[in-house]
Structures are given as C-alpha cells and as structure tokens.
C-alpha cells in the first residue's frame, strides 16, 4: 500500500516521518481563497477535501508515471480561530505578524485541523475517511523584545497565527488543551486511527490522543 502526503508543509512531513512510514509528497494545486459567506470550519474542511481530490485526480490520469492502485492520499488543512470568526492566517509582512502576535499575547484561540484520507483500491474505487480535530491554545506573556526577535528570525511568515508552537527560542505557548501535534499541523493520533480503518496496521492506535504532550519551557 502506498501513502501520499498531499502537502508541501515541512512540519507535516516531519510528523509523518516520525511514525516510520514510507511516503511520497505531491503538492496539490488548488485555489485556497475563501468563498463568500463561508464559515471557518467549512473552509478548513473543504480545503482538506479539495487537496485530496486534486492529488487523486492526478494519480488517476492515464499519463501518470506511477499506478494509483491501492494508494492512500492524506490531505490536511489547519487554521487558527480567535473568538468565533477571526481566522488566524499566515502573516503578509512583519507588521502583520507583529499585530497578530500582539493580539494573541496571553489570549486563548483554537486550532482546527481537518484531514481527509482518500484510498484508491485495486478496482479503482474511492474510499474516504474525514476528521476534524481541535485544540485550545493559550499564549504566554512574551515581551515586545522577544516578539521582535522572533519576527526578525523569519519563522512566523509561513505559519498560521504567525507562530510555531515547537519553536524553542520563542516558545510562545503557555498551555494547550487537546492534541499537541494538531497545533504543529497534523493530529497524528487521529491520522493513525484513520489509517487503521483502511488496513494500515502496526501503528499502535489508541482511542485517546497518544501524541507527545506539550511542556512549555520554564
């Protein structure tokens, strides 16, 4: 059985590699703009599904170099949400990153990751598994100097919410409630459960989150 990660995110590649699984990476080509009137949850769910479909269609192309039979495509999308409707996207520039991190300081927000597993079996039939995982995140009281040093590092600019929970220098998060790897970009506990549903055994699946816990630096 082949596993394809429909993402170019280095964080997702690292998380999946930590399971010891062999996989390939194909970046989906889709329009990621929000639709008018689209709720944040609908958006993140739609993105995961469209990413999976885009890669599956590429694999089913008669011109594809590699056969698609018995292949699982894993696609995901992650957003942060502050309050009921403020989506924490990727910052456009240093000023935008500064504004986002100032608004998040000492405040809670929620990280949502929607993912889809799409399996193409030997007969060419498609089987789907979808999940949505949420984690509450509370940011610490970082100083303005720490904030500025983090912006200067360049780390915020490809990350939703303008931060990486795993950054050891900035360590922006004081506490989480829920799955740690979900905040990184892929809830591995839930992904393992989905893979097991499709017959991928030996992953040590648990009914509860068994991802590494988050311990904020002292």
The secondary element (H helix, E strand) that includes residue 131 is strand 126-139
Q: What are φ and ψ of residue 98, in 5° steps?
A: -60, -45
**CA distance readout (Å), 207 to 56, 186, 194, 217:** 29, 17, 11, 28
Rg (CA), the chain: 18
| Alpha helices in 18-108, H assignment, sequence order | 40-60, 94-104
**CA distance readout (Å), 97 to 154, 158, 159, 175:** 10, 10, 10, 21
- DSSP designation for 29: -
Task: List the catalytic residue out of 31, 61, 70, 210.
Answer: 70
Could you confirm whether 155 is annotated as catalytic?
no
Q: How far apart are CA 90 and CA 9, in angstroms?
A: 13
Burial 165-202 (b: 16+ CB within 10 A, else e): bbeeebbbbeebebbbbbbbbbbbbbbbbbbeebebee
Neighbours of 106 (CB within 10 A): 10
* Residue 41 contacts residue 112 (beta carbons within 8 Å): yes
Catalytic residues: 70
């Amino acid at each position: 059985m082949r596993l394809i990660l429909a993402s170019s995110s280095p964080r997702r590649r690292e998380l999946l590699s930590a399971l010891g699984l062999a996989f390939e990476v194909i970046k989906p080509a889709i329009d990621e703009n929000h639709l008018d009137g689209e709720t944040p949850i609908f958006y993140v769910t739609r993105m995961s599904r469209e990413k999976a479909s885009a890669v599956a269609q590429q694999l089913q192309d008669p011109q594809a170099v590699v056969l698609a039979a018995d292949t699982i495509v894993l696609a995901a999308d992650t957003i942060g949400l502050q309050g009921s409707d403020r989506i924490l996207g990727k910052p456009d520039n240093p000023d935008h990153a500064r504004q986002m991190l100032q608004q998040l300081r000492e405040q809670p927000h929620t990280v949502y990751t929607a993912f889809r597993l799409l399996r193409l079996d030997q007969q060419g039939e498609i089987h789907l598994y979808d999940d949505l995982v949420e984690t509450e995140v509370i940011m610490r009281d970082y100083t303005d100097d720490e904030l500025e040093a983090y912006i200067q590092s360049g780390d915020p600019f490809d990350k939703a919410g303008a931060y990486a929970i795993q950054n050891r220098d900035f360590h922006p998060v004081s506490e989480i409630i829920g799955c740690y790897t979900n905040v990184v970009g892929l809830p591995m506990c839930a992904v393992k459960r989905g893979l097991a549903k499709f017959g991928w055994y030996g992953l040590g699946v648990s009914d509860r989150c068994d991802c590494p816990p988050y311990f904020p630096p002292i």
